[in-house]
Structure 1
Amino acid sequence: MNTIEIPFQGETLCALGSGALFWPARDLLIVSDLHLGKSERIARRRGTMLPPYETRATLERLAADLAATGAGGVLCLGDSFDDLDAAQGLDPEDRAQLVSLIEGRAWHWVEGNHDPGPAGLPGEHHAEMIMGPLTFRHIAEAGAQGELSGHYHPKLGLPGCGGTKPCLLLNAARMILPAYGAYTGGMPATAPELRALIGSPAFAVLTGTKPLLVPYPARAGAGRGRRRF
């Protein structure tokens, strides 16, 4: 399994190429912004039909990460569903697969702006969650320490890296995870909102078969081959 080990607030977190994080000491897989049911929500609200495969692709990615890490727990950092109705509108096969992934695991749903309440699925629901030195919430807060969040869907491109990719942004105080779900858009990592939150010195981890650690703001060619802090 290709990962980058990241020391953070006295803990070691492993960044996976999928955009997930694994916290070995807590046997916990951390993902953000799955946006399950996105095509169903778009069809319902706009009448635009999209191939209804994004939920299945996201769940297959999640199943692969759980198999690779053996994680006994999962923490979803909000916007797990594209809206509250999307949770109820899941294809029965997709819902059954999701429930099978939840069963036997400590599963935590953190509320997001798209899904600000329980979704009628197993697991614990939280407005935000504190575990050891780390705080988990959907949207980053100014001045936070040891914070992991999502919401912004950061993406970054470097020459020779196969175009723009979702990325994890981090500094000594916080991490902002990429969107884990298929069909999710993204905000450039250089956007003012993200630069204000991350500042400098900081790093980005580009997703892909082999996750790539680069300085942030990124410099062309920086970080090639680095796999560990």
Structure 2
Amino acid sequence: MNAALRQRLAPARRGCGGLTVRVASEPCVLRCSGALWIPAHRTLIASDLHLEKGSAFAARGQMLPPYDSPATLAKLEAEVEALDPATVVLLGDSFHDRRAVERLGETEHARLTRLAEGRRWVWLEGNHDLEALAGALDRLTGEVVTTLEVGALRLIHEPQPGAPPGEVAGHLHPAAR
């Protein structure tokens, strides 16, 4: 069996346990961290970080361990360090609620700023963080968009009915069809 046919019939595993797949015509790597890597465009995509989810629950009396944001940022830092992407796209619901950016500690803000240095940093709007992103552009590095085209892919937070092949959506934590 030739290599092209083998690639088409059985996606290849990467060293991290990731899986190489083709979405529309784009070769992509499903990383074991949960991120998506598009090597041809040096683009790293992560979705539904829900930063400050723990503090949102704590404000309502449900105590969760207070290290969700630092732990999530550590995973993102590891991916950025391993791949050195030219672009990082956060595919919506990066913040758990509209006040999450305010509750995010200075250390975590500094970590996000360092991660964004020297690369394009894109926040896609999600259903949880629409207000958070709109009110925090002065505190966050990068740009905020509703959708983004990367090669043959169309990035969006919520899947659209009847979407053409190549739509990559977060929101479903994750799912494929």
Q: Please, what TM-score do these two structures have when normalized by structure 2? A: 0.83
Which residue in 2 is equivalent to 1:131?
150
CA distance in 1, matches of 2:25, 2:173: 26
Structure 2 counterpart of 1:73, which letter? T
Structure 1, unpaired ranges of 5+:
155-168, 171-197, 199-229
**Is the Cα contact below 8 Å between 2:49 and 2:95 reproduced in 1?**
yes
CA distance in 1, matches of 2:62, 2:27: 43
**Is the Cα contact below 8 Å between 2:20 and 2:29 reproduced in 1?**
yes
Which residue in 1 is equivalent to 2:97?
83
CA distance in 1, matches of 2:23, 2:84: 22
Q: CA deviation at 1:128?
A: 1.4
Q: CA deviation at 1:84?
A: 2.1
For residue 87 of structure 1, give the secondary structure of its aligned residue in structure 2. Answer: helix
1:4 pairs with 2:19: yes
Which residue in 2 is equivalent to 1:208?
none
5 Å matches for 1:1-229?
A: 1-2=15-16, 3-44=18-59, 46-116=60-130, 117-118=133-134, 119-120=136-137, 121-145=140-164, 146-154=166-174, 169-170=175-176, 198=177
Structure 1 counterpart of 2:173, which letter? H
1:106-160 Cα deviation digits (max 9, x unpaired): 0110000001143330111001122232111111011112100111224xxxxxx
Structure 1 counterpart of 2:88, which letter? V
Q: Please, what TM-score do these two structures have when normalized by structure 1? A: 0.65
Q: State the identity %.
A: 42
Structure 2, unpaired ranges of 5+:
1-14
Query: Whose helix fraction is larger, Structure 1's or Structure 2's?
Result: 2
1:49-103 Cα deviation digits (max 9, x unpaired): 3221010000000011111112121001100000121012101111111111112
Query: Whose strand fraction is larger, Structure 1's or Structure 2's?
Result: 1
CA distance in 1, matches of 2:75, 2:150: 25
CA distance in 2, matches of 1:55, 1:82: 10
- C-alpha RMSD over aligned residues: 1.3
